[in-house]
Structure 1
Amino acid sequence: MRLAVTGASGRMGGEVLAAAADRADGVVLVAASDPESVDADAVGEDTDVVADADLAAALAEHEVDALVDFTAPDALADYAAACADAGVALVTGTTGLTDDHRAELADAAESVPVLHAPNFSKGVAVLARLVGDAAAALADYDVELVEAHHNGKTDAPSGTALSLLDAVDGARGDSPRVHGREGEAPRTEDEIGVHAVRAGDVTGMHEVWLAGGREELRLTHRAESRRVFAEGALDAAAWLAGRDAGQYSFAQVLGMTTDGTEVAA
């Protein structure tokens, strides 16, 4: 698989570069783009490092099969258009997308395969299923969600947290979401409390509480390294390259579903 990576000097871009270099299953990094300078040792002498403005030309020149992106919503829109023009599969873990950004991904998916996921951890994919099952089985239990990330993360709640909240809504119907509490703030019967922590270099933690009158259940996932997300994205890229145009899910990559929706446990 001939691979391109955007945001090569970023936290996740660097992890994808390192993960690609460690793979022994035929992944070849042929192009990388970034608005900042990129360490040549990080990409290798055979990788073409280009400015974002030159990405579309590089994708075509190097016959790229798939592009992996962990950058920012506005930049992603440009990368999606470049992939559509060059016929390159797009895998992105960029979060904080608006409806307009999602529409741009949908436009690209008319020409190429596109896979957007807020999290590329296998454990989180299973967690989302468990949260939905638990919310349905414990329908009268209070639900709270706590998530923590590093102090440079810009969006809150995280994209992963939003996907877990969607899993609860899928089991119970839409519930009002209360972001933190202060002063007199009695809990309503059907609300979901959402709490975002930003501190230090926390890779990622998500915990869903379900509490009844005499017990509580906590479902927790902790990422110990960003490499787990990079490896999952590369698995997704290898799976996505060469498929028909359309929008795909990480659950499909993991065999949890065939049509983009999770298979019931």
Structure 2
Amino acid sequence: MTVAVGVTGATGQMGRAVIDAASARDDVEVAFAVNRDPEEGAEVAGVPVEPAREFDRLLAERDPDAVVDFTGPASSQNYVAVATEAGVASVVGTTGFDDASEASLRELAEYAPILKASNFGRGVQALLSAVESAIGALPGYDVEVTETHHNRKRDAPSGTAKTILETIEQGREDASLVHGREGEAPREASEIGVHSRRAGTITGEHEVLLAGNHEEVRLTHRAEDRGVFAEGALDAAVWLADREPGWYDFADVVEAER
């Protein structure tokens, strides 16, 4: 079975990566690609890029199995709402949603399947499992989380870092997040240090440091190419295409393969 996907943000870095990855796969085809105000005749990997204002029409005419979205919170919410109304599944890799916006997405999941993930790297799923295990095994150790991304990334901490922090907080009920430090800032026993760095073209790196008892443990994930996330998003689209309405995560995809 070949799953047809619509790709939003087609000329962005992740949109391009998704289309490139799809062109090399037998189980996925790009039904259409859209972007806000593309240049006339724009293409990505041979796929014409059409204006975002045509999204409704393209959904109706091309009938994709899923939409893959890596744009921005406002545009993503609009794309998902339109796709949901058409009964089309959505894979959302956009980050930076506030609580109200994410709640709205969850409401839409009552009517069509939506899979939202802060990171589509399979290695990140392994990292989260390792973090959960380490937090449980080292209850008194200090914890610091550092994430590094390219200099154009808007949200901080990254969505992946937030997911890591949620995993830590589940194992540390008294945890309090401290974002960076300045001046006189003695460390409290319950705090989790959070640090965001932005530089150059770094794709993404996340490190969790646990230190205590004269020893330290460092758990690190480093993505070397955006294709890692594109492949994961397409795997998610294939998995999601025939699901019932509901709210899903990339962990569901990975877990189903075990």
State the TM-score, normalized to the length of structure 2: 0.95
Q: Which amino acid aligns with 2:212?
A: G
The answer to whether 1:35 aligns with 2:36 is yes
User: Structure 2, unaligned stretches of length 5 or more?
Assistant: none
Distance 2:45 2:34 in 1: 10
Rate the CA distance shift 1:84–1:33 in 2: closer, same or farther, 3 A: same
Q: Which amino acid aligns with 1:126?
A: A
Larger strand fraction of residues: 2
Residue 66 of structure 1: how far off its partner (Å): 0.5
Residue 174 of structure 1: how far off its partner (Å): 4.7
Q: Which amino acid aligns with 1:29?
A: V
Per the alignment, in what secondary structure is the counterpart of residue 29 of structure 1? Answer: strand
Sequence identity of aligned pairs in percent?
51
Rate the CA distance shift 1:54–1:117 in 2: closer, same or farther, 3 A: same
Q: Which amino acid aligns with 1:23?
A: R
State the TM-score, normalized to the length of structure 1: 0.92
Equivalent residues of 1:9, 1:36 under 8 A apart: no
Q: Which amino acid aligns with 1:59?
A: L
- Per-residue Cα deviation, 1:233-253 (whole angstroms, up to 9, x for no partner): 000000000110000111110
Which residue does 1:191 correspond to in 2?
191
Residue 40 of structure 1: how far off its partner (Å): 3.8
Which residue does 1:163 correspond to in 2?
163
Which residue does 1:115 correspond to in 2?
115
Residue 111 of structure 1: how far off its partner (Å): 1.1
Q: Which amino acid aligns with 2:114?
A: V
Q: Which amino acid aligns with 2:252?
A: Q
Which residue does 1:11 correspond to in 2?
13
Distance 2:126 2:42 in 1: 37
Greater alpha carbon shift after TM alignment, 99-108 vs 205-214: 99-108
Distance 1:164 1:257 in 2: 22
Residue 85 of structure 1: how far off its partner (Å): 1.3
Rate the CA distance shift 1:147–1:122 in 2: closer, same or farther, 3 A: same
Q: Which amino acid aligns with 1:195?
A: H
Greater alpha carbon shift after TM alignment, 99-108 vs 111-120: 99-108
Distance 2:256 2:169 in 1: 20
Distance 2:101 2:159 in 1: 14
Residue 132 of structure 1: how far off its partner (Å): 1.1
Q: How does 1:51-66 map to 2 (within 5 A)?
A: 51-66=51-66
Distance 2:216 2:156 in 1: 25
Distance 2:109 2:56 in 1: 16
- Per-residue Cα deviation, 1:103-151 (whole angstroms, up to 9, x for no partner): 2211221111000000000000110111011011100000001100000
Greater alpha carbon shift after TM alignment, 100-109 vs 145-154: 100-109
Residue 256 of structure 1: how far off its partner (Å): 6.1
Per the alignment, in what secondary structure is the counterpart of residue 90 of structure 1? Answer: strand
Rate the CA distance shift 1:257–1:193 in 2: closer, same or farther, 3 A: farther
Which residue does 1:138 correspond to in 2?
138
Rate the CA distance shift 1:88–1:221 in 2: closer, same or farther, 3 A: same
Distance 1:14 1:174 in 2: 42
Distance 1:13 1:31 in 2: 12
Q: Which amino acid aligns with 2:215?
A: E
Residue 44 of structure 1: how far off its partner (Å): 2.4
Residue 3 of structure 1: how far off its partner (Å): 0.9
Equivalent residues of 2:179, 2:194 under 8 A apart: yes
Distance 1:53 1:40 in 2: 15
Per the alignment, in what secondary structure is the counterpart of residue 254 of structure 1? Answer: helix
User: Structure 1, unaligned stretches of length 5 or more?
Assistant: 259-265
Equivalent residues of 2:4, 2:64 under 8 A apart: yes
Residue 188 of structure 1: how far off its partner (Å): 0.3
Per the alignment, in what secondary structure is the counterpart of residue 218 of structure 1? Answer: strand
Which residue does 2:182 correspond to in 1?
182
- Per-residue Cα deviation, 1:149-174 (whole angstroms, up to 9, x for no partner): 00000000000001001111111215
Residue 257 of structure 1: how far off its partner (Å): 9.5
- Per-residue Cα deviation, 1:4-44 (whole angstroms, up to 9, x for no partner): 0000010101100100111122x111111111326644152
Per the alignment, in what secondary structure is the counterpart of residue 78 of structure 1? Answer: helix
Q: Which amino acid aligns with 1:223?
A: A
